[in-house]
Amino acid sequence: MTERITIIGSGPAGWTAAIYAARANLEPLMYEGAFTEDNRLKGTLPLGQLALTTEVENYPGFPSGNLAAYMDDAIDESKRKYMAPHAGEGVSGPELMELMRQQATNFGTRIKTDDIVEVDFSSRPFKLKSLAGDEFESHAVIIATGARANYLGLESESRFKNAGVSACAVCDGAMPRYRDKPLVVIGGGDSAMEEANFLTKYASRVYIVHRRDSFRASKIMADRALANPKIDVKWNSVIEEVLGDDENGVTGVRIKNTETDSTEDLEVTGYFAAIGHTPNTDFLGGQLETNDKGYLIWPVSHRTNTSVEGVFAAGDVADDHYRQAVTAAGSGCAAALDAEKWLVAQGLD
Ligand code: NAP
């Protein structure tokens, strides 16, 4: 049997595409990814990057704070009965993703907990292969595989992965080796701020090592980090080496001040890279056009078609600019609508 539409990737873009495709009776097949050690190390487990985060404060519809008083004052009793009892409690990343997954399931999305590892887009229907050995054809495909965290690429950094080197504070921060110990976060963007603030829950001190003298992060996130008494910023500094040994894993980092060329060893038990992302496109074998950073491109403005007719892209894998949960979800919706329209035009709906 040839699938009508296969969605690869299970972040906000993938689930939103699945919800829309399922509601259009396209019976989408979702490959949500596999729970492998390789995916864990790369940060590409099912449910995507949001599942690796804590509170999601900027996804519309999930305000946090004491809404009860506001609701008593501002929202008519007749409307309040339509609001969920937990309204006002915000939402966590993992919870939001589970809710999206459930919503897609409710409308009939079929889910495979497996990775697509190879595709052939040279002729239609497209051919796909999975890690578990599935081989099948699909008329339309939506790529929503997102992006993963980058590392600096130092040899000493890869040596201590799983032994104090991580790119996900939320996944690993609560581990005993990080409790009441000094830690270091690399980067100056929102991720670095978020990770550093999060880690102060456990750590005795968190250093942020940033290569410039100002943060790229949004003002609210930067201000929060700068006001945190447990955070100490090392400006104009780069990591020269991650220090450690086989028995203890990471024991420190050697940083160099780029203005003075002086080096300093910081004693830390954890090293968290927060230096941007790489789109998850390896399995595509270069069959879709990308920009110079490797992100898939949409050749037609405001349409989610890729360079191959019948293949659509949504979310962070095609977005090196906004990279927000809500923009990913929006483009997932657009990709499902574009795919549906294309399938109808082909008589394949
Ligand atoms: P980013 O904004 O691209 O920031 C990456 C940071 O890493 C930059 O400060 C960059 O330094 C530094 N960096 C990159 N390569 C480096 C290298 N080789 N050596 C040393 N430093 C290096 O990435 P991000 O923080 O992951 O954020 C990505 C997107 O997600 C942004 O749009 C952000 O707003 C969003 N985000 C939002 C939230 C939130 O709102 N809750 C949380 C996380 C992320 P330079 O500044 O010098 O380039």
Tell me, letter by letter, the H, E, C secondary structure of the chain.
CEEEEEEECCCHHHHHHHHHHHHCCCCCEEECCCCCHHHHHHCCCCCCHHHHCCECCCCCCCCECCHHHHHHHHCCHHHHCCCCCCCCECCEHHHHHHHHHHHHHHCCCEEECCCEEEEECCCCCEEEEECCCCEEEEEEEEECCCEEECCCCCHHHHHCECCCEECCHHHHCCCHHHCCCEEEEECCCHHHHHHHHHHCCCCCEEEEECCCCCCCCCHHHHHHHHCCCCEEEECCEEEEEEEEECCCEEEEEEEEECCCCCEEEEECCEEEECCCEEECCHHHCCCCCECCCCCECCCCCCCCECCCCCEEECHHHHCCCCCCHHHHHHHHHHHHHHHHHHHHHHCCC
Residue nearest (by alpha carbon) to ligand 1 atom 9: 188
Residue nearest (by alpha carbon) to ligand 1 atom 26: 276
Distance from Cα 90 to the centre of ligand 1, integer Å = 24
User: What's the confidence (pLDDT) of residue 232?
Assistant: 98
CATH number for 2-149+277-346 (one of 3.40.250.10, 3.40.640.10, 3.50.50.60, 3.40.50.10490): it is 3.50.50.60
The residues annotated as belonging to the active site are: 168, 171-172
User: What's the confidence (pLDDT) of residue 85?
Assistant: 61
**Cβ atoms 274, 195 nearer than 8 A:** yes
Token reading at 268 = 């830390």
Distance from Cα 149 to the centre of ligand 1, integer Å = 10
CATH number for 155-273 (one of 3.30.43.10, 3.50.50.60, 3.40.605.10, 3.40.50.2300): it is 3.50.50.60
Distance from Cα 192 to the centre of ligand 1, integer Å = 7
Distance from Cα 43 to the centre of ligand 1, integer Å = 16
Closest atom of ligand 1 to 212 CA is 47
Residue to mutate (ligand 1; options 186, 190, 215; most atoms within 8 A of CB): 190
Going residue by residue through the chain, which has 349 residues, state the pLDDT in tens, using 9 for 90 and above. 899 999 999 999 999 999 999 999 999 999 999 999 999 878 899 999 888 777 788 899 888 776 666 667 777 777 777 666 666 778 888 999 999 999 999 999 999 999 999 999 999 999 999 999 999 999 999 999 999 989 999 999 989 987 999 888 877 888 899 999 999 999 999 999 999 999 999 999 999 999 999 999 999 999 999 999 999 999 999 999 999 999 999 999 999 999 999 999 999 999 999 998 999 999 999 999 999 999 999 999 999 999 999 999 999 999 998 888 999 999 999 999 999 999 999 999 8
Q: Locate tokens 């019976």: which residue? A: 27
Which residues line the pocket of ligand 1, CB cutoff 6 A?
A: 58, 152, 187-192, 194, 211-212, 216, 274-277, 323
Q: Are strands 263-267 and 116-120 parallel, antiparallel or unpaired?
A: unpaired
Residue nearest (by alpha carbon) to ligand 1 atom 13: 275
**Cβ atoms 199, 220 nearer than 8 A:** no
Within the chain, all domains assigned CATH 3.50.50.60 are found at 2-149+277-346, 155-273
Residue to mutate (ligand 1; options 191, 195, 209, 320; most atoms within 8 A of CB): 191
Q: Are strands 126-130 and 135-143 parallel, antiparallel or unpaired?
A: antiparallel
Q: Locate tokens 């939506």: which residue? A: 142
Distance from Cα 191 to the centre of ligand 1, integer Å = 6
User: What's the confidence (pLDDT) of residue 139?
Assistant: 98
pTM, two decimals, is 0.80
Residue nearest (by alpha carbon) to ligand 1 atom 14: 275
Closest atom of ligand 1 to 57 CA is 41
Task: Tell me the residue type at 86.
Answer: H
Closest atom of ligand 1 to 322 CA is 32
- Torsion over CA of 14, 47, 53 and 45, rounded to 10 degrees? -130
